[in-house]
Structure 1
Amino acid sequence: MHPRPLHRCRRHLTGLLVSAFLIGAFAASPAAAAPAPRPQDELPPQEPGVTLRVFDVQVPLDKLCDIKTGQTPNVDRLMPGIDWSSSDDFGVDDHFVSEIIANLAVPEDGTYAFRLISDDGSRLRINDSTVIDHDGLHGAEPKDGSVELTAGHHALRIDHFDRTGGQQVTLEWKPPGAAEFAVVPGSVLSTDADVVRVTAPGRKECEGALDSPGDGLPLTEAHPDYALTDLRPAGFEPQVTAMDWLPDGRLAVTTWGGTDNTTGEVYLLDNVQGETDAGKVTAKKVADGLREPMGIKAVDGKLYVSQKHELTELTDADGDDVTDERRTVATWPYGGNFHEFAFGLLYRDGYFYLNLSVAIDLGGATTDPQPAPNRGSTIKVNKETGEVDYVAGGLRTPNGIGWGPEGDMFVLDNQGGWLPSSKLLHIKQDRFFNHYTNPSGPFDDKPVTKPVLWLPQNEIANSPSTPLQLTEGRFAGQMLFGDVTYGGIQRAYLEKVDGEYQGAVFRFTQGLEAGVNRISMGPDGAIYAGGLGAGGNWGQEGKLTYGLQKLSPSR
């Protein structure tokens, strides 16, 4: 296996997310050359402790393995230090792989000796350089290594696996001038603060010797039928939550603004179509102060935005594009939970359509009871009166809504409570999709409607987003959808049997700069992809937390 480089933190990037496992021997490592420290201004906000992620592989290992990318860990915890010796510490009994990620604050220049005690194999890396290689099957044995470090923050990572019996990872050090080894104190360890720690049950997989991109592993590059173009002018770093097209060909984009904030924005982008590049694109901010907007639609000369708590009309009264007036079109039940989003925004025949997600607890369990009623629903809103009607229910995190074959409505719902895997759904009036809440939703007493497609968790989708039907090319009539954490775009082939849709899903493309939260078909026939991610493990591994690119047909 080849090591994967650790990426430096930049703004909210978590630069330590990439899996890095190497195969080695038992000899003690000599002191390595001094790696450069990480300037404080390159670190995102920190909190004391380390991040522990555990992957339940459920097979006996005899050496470290590369965990397949795109898989959600079974355990993701903030731990005070690195000294663990029980299954309660790791959250899994046997047959697991763990990753320990932190920043090490070195007080002074000098030679630092480290001692790694593990059961079974492990590896210590500092700033992407191996300091101790302690791989293989063994009990809780120590192994030492040294490295020259300069004062400042250094990226620290331990990879570890356990087969059966006991499990342990302990990291000790002997700084310059110290006489004995001691457990690395929590006071010099930190990890990214206020991050999203997503977990999922089930077996996780290591890379196999014969796995390759698209055959056992996620794709890595852009589809050969498409040319990839960057669309972000210098300094423009949008965490894209919605896109729509104005009649004059400009692209309207909303940005997230972060959890529990009212800093979402709306931009109008020009020169994105046709032959272009990031240097030709212009971005003009036309609205701000929005509560985590997740949908936008241009209708009759005005922009409409779905915020967490309401549908808002934005009016440019003087023709300079900047919003002068805001009007609340409609509100819906909202209890203030961080997960109560209003996803997407469609419009047809005088009605808007969007999805309301349920409230969840930190860690992913559905909040019981729900702070607001009738969440987990697809709703429609009368443009003129603001009246809200419920279309379908039993949804959890329906971060995607779009039109599909025969003009039907489709939604992508994300896995979690009541959902073993994400799924593509065909929305029709009064349908229920099996996510129950307390109190009951408006359709909880209806028969459960089966999904159009199950999307195998960790294999092809983890956090699917916008569905989009292709109208031209070799895949005309099929649907695409993006994914925030698995990343890239997938392709769904659908057929209708006895009035119900069914089909299959295929990997379509990767190679984009960020996990894909929104896709849109441009007037120029290109597929526009808006990227999004956050700290922790909510975002595509090793990618930016923002992005805007397009895929133009090249053949």
Structure 2
Amino acid sequence: MFTILLKTLAAITITCAPQAEPLGEYWGSGEEESTYYKLVDVPLPKELAIEAGSFEVMPDGQALAIATRRGDIFIAEGVFDEHPEPKFRKFAEGLDEIFGLAYRDGSFIATQQAEVSRITDTDNDGRADRFDTISDAWGFGNYHEFAFGSKPDADGNVWVALCLSKSYHSDEPFRGWCLKITPEGKAIPICSGIRSPCGIGPNEHGVMFYAESQGPWNGSCSLKVLEPGGFMGHPISFNWYELAPEMGPVPVQPNTPSRLEIERQRVKQLVPYAVVFPYIRMGRSISGFQVDQTGGKFGPFENQLFVADFSLGVVMRATTEKVNGVWQGACYPFREGFDTGLLAVQFTPTGSLIAGGTNRGWPVRGSKAYAIQRLDWTGRMPFEIKQITARPEGFNIAFTKPVDRKLAAQATTYQLKTFTHMYRQAYGSPEVDQTEPKVSAVTVADDAMSVVIEVDGLVQGHVHDFFLPDLRSRDQEKLLHANAYYTLNEIPKTLSARHDQPKVDATTNVVPESR
């Protein structure tokens, strides 16, 4: 994400994708989105530059902790009020680009560029007075070497995704790797090959993922699973395998230019993108994400991932599933119009989504240098593509409202294309190898809340681009967003090859295979 200089960015925009549309017209549904999800500004003190990098809800459920790229931690009360007029107090300062925050057992756990820290107020005066290093097992030597930390997993481990050095190199130990930091401070290497992460945490099944940005060896932004022993795709960090003998041999060097689907057969550790976010159409620098576990307070998308974007100031949805032992899934438009580049999102006890960030001097959509905003569900139900899942013969498409059965039963209602990207050392990739599969049959569910489409011409390894502008609900509503994008790494051999709600093994970050 933080790798795109203006000159390079302009070149990539010209060669890889069309320009984004004006603010409020990104998906052509800006005004309609506000009918269902209302943006609420959180006023910030004029005398403070609060550039949010991560959030945490305090144990009382009333206050929000805000960690910033400038190295401060603020605690704000009143952010969750219907009409917020929050009061801020500074808890800690002097840290460095905090991109991971949690509160456990009376202390903050903060991930900053050079370490994971435990920060405590021992005399209960409302200010931190004790700073302990939990782990600084990785190297740091350049401002661009960001570190993104998860909230502790079920065993108390913090997963840290480490950005490369100066965007393109791995000059310090474990730059371009993920490390799992135990509560005792032991650093366990998980995987190599990371480029420029911005967001890390569990998917809806409890498995640790991270958000990767477009760039070298990454044709577009994506969500990827942090698979133990895996290689995330960028080989510049291979030099640190000597520090991690438990990871096994150095992977085979991938060919360039090639295709990820081809290189998966050559490089056994290579982990494919689980969800590709088509460049510009679905963000440009995806960032923080969190699962909706609000119990329906945020609308019809319980247990889905909400993914922010830094460059375009939008929030998107994503769903994942494991097919034939490989993670894959879909992304969907959700809400545009935020005031700045988004770095972090956080669900609140009241069922809202807090989003915030900064432009940090980079070009972003949005008029403010930094902002925190809250997204509230208005209670009205949008007509949306709720979720797409893979089937041996095609896809199951679920909706948030019953569909018009006649329209939904027509194969011509479903426009479908596919594409992939070049897997190459160069920066990004155009969309290549396009195909146009045909929907040959449709089965509408008895309750009209979903359809199964049979598709002639599924392409393993391709993004399947869905466009449903002609579909209507039973009440003749248009879809709020007619597009969705499914990354088909694997075609299910049988329906039992899918995992609907598997339970993760926290020690391995792996979902057990179904029997």
Q: Normalised by the size of structure 1, how large is the TM-score?
A: 0.58
Match of 2:232 among 428, 433, 438: 433
2:371 aligns with: 547
Matched, 1:419 2:218: yes
Q: Are residues 1:225 and 2:31 paired?
A: no
| Amino acid in structure 2 at the alignment position of 1:527 | L
Give, in whole Å, the separation in 1 of the partners of 2:14 and 2:270: 23
Alignment match of 2:57 (pick from 215, 238, 245): 245
1:330 matched to 2:135? The reply is: yes
SS, match of residue 73 in structure 1: helix
The alpha-carbon deviation at position 266 of structure 1 amounts to 0.6
* Equivalent runs, 1:372-451 vs 2, <5 Å: 372-383=172-183, 385-437=184-236, 439-442=238-241, 444-445=250-251, 447-451=269-273
Q: Secondary structure at the match of 2:205?
A: helix
CA distance in 2, matches of 1:386, 1:374: 16
User: Counterparts of 2:6 and 2:68 in 1: how far apart (Å)?
Assistant: 30
Matched, 1:509 2:335: yes
Q: 1:343 to 1:220 in 2, by over 3 A?
A: farther
Following superposition, the deviation at residue 298 of structure 1 comes to: 0.4
Contact 1:244–1:296 (CA<8 Å) still a contact in 2? yes
1:2-44 deviation digits (Å, cap 9, x = unpaired)? xxxxxxxxxxxxxxxxxxxxxxxxxxxxxxxxxxxxxxxxxxx
Q: How many residues in Structure 1 have an aligned counterpart in Structure 2?
A: 345
Instruction: Give the aligned partner of residue 69 of structure 2.
Output: 256
- Write out per-residue CA displacement over residues 67-92 of structure 1, whole angstroms, 9 at most, x where no aligned residue: xxxxx411xxxxxxxxxxxxxxxxxx
How far apart in 1 are the matches of 2:87 and 2:270?
Answer: 47
Q: Distance in 1 between matches of 2:20 and 2:374?
A: 30
d(CA) in 2 for partners of 1:326 and 1:222?
A: 43
Partner of 2:288: 466
Question: Is the radius of gyration larger for structure 1 or structure 2?
Answer: 1
- Counterparts of 2:162 and 2:50, CA distance in 1: 23
Give the secondary-structure state (helix, strand or coil) at the position aligned to 2:198.
Answer: coil
Q: Write out aligned runs for 1:189-338 (5 A).
A: 202-205=15-18, 213=25, 215=27, 219=30, 222-235=33-46, 236-249=48-61, 250-257=63-70, 264-277=71-84, 280-338=85-143
| Residues 229 and 346 of structure 1: CA distance in aligned 2, closer, same or farther (over 3 Å) | same
Partner AA of 1:73 in structure 2? A
The list of structure 1 runs, each at least 4 consecutive aligned residues, that deviate by more than 6 angstroms after superposition, is none
What TM-score do the two structures reach when normalised by structure 2? 0.63
Give the unaligned 5+ runs of structure 1: 1-50, 55-71, 75-198, 258-263
The CA deviation at 1:460 is 1.2
Given that 2:227 and 2:271 are in contact with CA atoms closer than 8 Å, whether structure 1 keeps it comes out as no
- How far did residue 554 of structure 1 move? 1.2
Gap change, CA 1:221 and 1:376, over 3 Å in 2: farther
* Alpha-carbon distance in structure 2 between the residues aligned to 1:240 and 1:275: 21
Distance 2:270 2:32 in 1: 38
C-alpha contact (below 8 Å) 1:245/1:251 kept by paired residues: yes
Task: Tell me the amino acid that sits aligned with residue 316 of structure 2.
Answer: Q
Q: Which amino acid aligns with 2:50?
A: P
Using a 3 Å threshold, how does the CA distance of structure 1 residues 326 and 499 change in structure 2: closer, same or farther? same
Deviations 1:457-497 (A, max 9, x none): 22212111112112333122221100110221011133332
Displacement of 1:254 in angstroms is: 0.9
CA deviation after TM superposition for structure 1 residue 552, in Å: 1.4
Question: C-alpha displacement at 1:501, in angstroms?
Answer: 2.9
Return the offset for 1:219.
Answer: 4.8
What is residue 310 of structure 2 aligned with on the other side? 484
Instruction: Confirm or deny: 8 A CA contact 1:286 1:321 kept in the other structure.
Output: yes
1:340-375 Cα offsets, whole Å, 9 max, x none, are 111133202131122111112xxx5x12xx321222
C-alpha distance in structure 2 between counterparts of 1:356 and 1:435, whole Å: 13
Q: Does structure 1 conserve the Cα–Cα contact (< 8 Å) formed by 2:66 and 2:75?
A: yes
Once residues 99 and 88 of structure 2 are traced to their aligned partners in structure 1, the CA distance between those partners, rounded to angstroms, is 19
Going from structure 1 to structure 2, the CA distance change for 1:425 and 1:387 (only over 3 Å counts) comes to same
**Which has a greater percent of helix?**
2
For residue 409 of structure 2, what is the aligned residue in structure 1? Answer: none
Amino acid at match of 2:72: E
Contact 2:287/2:307 (<8 A) preserved:
yes
Task: Measure, in 2, the Cα distance between the counterparts of 1:533 and 1:511.
Answer: 14
1:221 Cα deviation (Å)?
A: 7.3
User: Is the alpha carbon distance of 1:206 and 1:345 closer, same or farther for their aligned partners in structure 2, counting shifts above 3 Å?
Assistant: closer
Partner of 1:146: none
CA distance in 1, matches of 2:21, 2:180: 47
Aligned partners of 2:354 and 2:373 also within 8 Å? yes
Q: 1:541 to 1:300 in 2, by over 3 A?
A: same
1:503 Cα deviation after fit: 2.1
What amino acid sits opposite 1:376 in the alignment?
G
Q: Which has the higher strand share?
A: 1
Deviations 1:395-438 (A, max 9, x none): 11111112222211121111112212111112221121111115
Q: What SS does the aligned partner of 2:144 have?
A: coil
Tell me which amino acid in the other structure corresponds to 2:16.
R
SS of 1:202 mapped into structure 2? helix
Q: Which residue of 2 aligns with 1:19?
A: none
Measured on the aligned residues, the alpha-carbon RMSD in Å equals 2.6
Write the distance in 2 (CA, Å) between the matches of 1:345 and 1:207: 31
Aligned to 2:496: none
SS in 1 for 2:216: coil
SS at match of 1:437: helix
Q: Please, which of 69, 73, 83 is the counterpart of residue 10 of structure 2?
A: 73
Unaligned stretches of 5+ residues in structure 2: 242-246, 252-267, 380-515
1:253-289 deviation line (CA, Å, top 9, x unaligned):
11112xxxxxx11100111124232xx2011111111
| 3-state DSSP of counterpart to 2:160 | strand
